[in-house]
Chains A and B, each alone.
Chain A
């Protein structure tokens, strides 16, 4: 239902009282509204939906998730051998 794509904040400005940002989606950039992320900073990754940044991606949590996936494999290999 809700297409949300991660992108990196490259620029932040105010447009008549509304916090806006330029988001880089990996080569394609577009502006998004940053009103709901008052603490987001340039360099942060956010998830954009319908032109709005809704959450800052937590890098440490992402690494933990990927590590879990990798360890699944390792544990399995150890069990298997």
Chain B
């Protein structure tokens, strides 16, 4: 290791790094450059142009439209304030369906278990999944279990896939954001990510931090009851946070997004934790929040409907879609300045400076 060598090799990682799973720039690059070229679909098999950044794909099946999605859950710790991997595995997949306006029909559940895992713990996770599914009114209809040798997995991983029915007249996807659309947010951000982080990596927060994990299909129902065609985009800002959702929508629809920073609700505990860890609440994961892009004329009605629903009581208007600066998300700061909002590169890391 003598002589000058350029740090340029970092441009391409030759191995997977944790950041590839962070939901930010690295994750998107993996999908775009590795998976999509490998999975290039037969055009005739899909009823819509492939939208890799949508939460679920919509397939035309015998005259109806089915939304189909899959997600894997790898959270440490398995139980955290406000929930567990069990609730996440149901809510996350139900919410991906809901983001296409679909009513969930059935879920699959695949388990990868580490040899030595306590059955009592697995039982608690299964119970949590069952309760969450019953609450949503969706069946866990099929499943699979694999066990790997001790040390080859971190306790347990869950994959759930889900199918749901898209009602007639509903077309919700990132590319449908239009200049003039109002941007609505269903409640405070950052609760889930901070609740999980609080018990991970030895960062022992006390205090009242709970995950917001919750199903969003009911909230979507009341929004669609207010206007079927006026809801253009729905997104649950999970990994990568609200910033990533907004950036991906701006890119997919080739529109600009402007929002007012002070309009975004953040609980004091989350704000304190973020300040103290040097993190931006806009980059923190949520599991029970929805951001909606709604036609301007329908925005008031949708907001009112959201606020009347228990899952959207704290809904707010945060900004507007613009024709200017396509692909760029800009926040107006409390002091009247502006800043460009970017996706985080990889996973959120506590920093000292």
Q: Which of these, A5, A24, A49, A50, contacts B275 with CB under 8 Å?
A: A5
Residue A1 interfacial (CB < 8 Å): yes
B205 CB contacts on chain A under 8 angstroms? 28-30
By beta carbon, the residue of chain B nearest A31 is B204
Given A5-B275, A25-B272, A25-B273, A30 contacting B351 (CB threshold 8 A)? no
* Contact between chains at B352 and A27 (CB < 8 Å): no
* Contact between chains at B272 and A27 (CB < 8 Å): yes
- Where chain B touches its partner, the secondary structure class is loop
* Contact between chains at B353 and A26 (CB < 8 Å): no
Q: Which of these, A2, A25, A31, contacts B276 with CB under 8 Å?
A: A25
Given A3-B278, A5-B276, A27 contacting B207 (CB threshold 8 A)? yes
Contact with B along A42-78 (1 / 0, CB 8 A): 0000001110000000000000000000000000000
- How far is B277's CA from A30's CA once the two chains are assembled, in angstroms? 11
* Contact between chains at A28 and B209 (CB < 8 Å): yes
A5 CB contacts on chain B under 8 angstroms? 272, 275-276
Interface residues of B in 252-279 (CB under 8 A from A): 267-273, 275-276, 278
Q: How far is the CB of A29 from chain B (nearest CB, A)?
A: 4
Interface residues of B in 32-89 (CB under 8 A from A): none
- How far is B203's CA from A5's CA once the two chains are assembled, in angstroms? 16
Contact with B along A7-30 (1 / 0, CB 8 A): 100000000000000101111111
By beta carbon, the residue of chain A nearest B203 is A30
| Chain B positions near chain A (C-beta within 8 angstroms) | 194, 198, 203-209, 267-273, 275-276, 278, 351-353
User: Please, could you name 13 A-B residue pairs with CB atoms under 8 Å apart, sorted by A?
Assistant: A3-B353, A5-B272, A5-B275, A25-B275, A27-B209, A27-B267, A27-B273, A28-B207, A28-B209, A28-B273, A29-B206, A29-B207, A30-B205
| Chain A positions near chain B (C-beta within 8 angstroms) | 1-3, 5, 7, 22, 24-31, 48-50
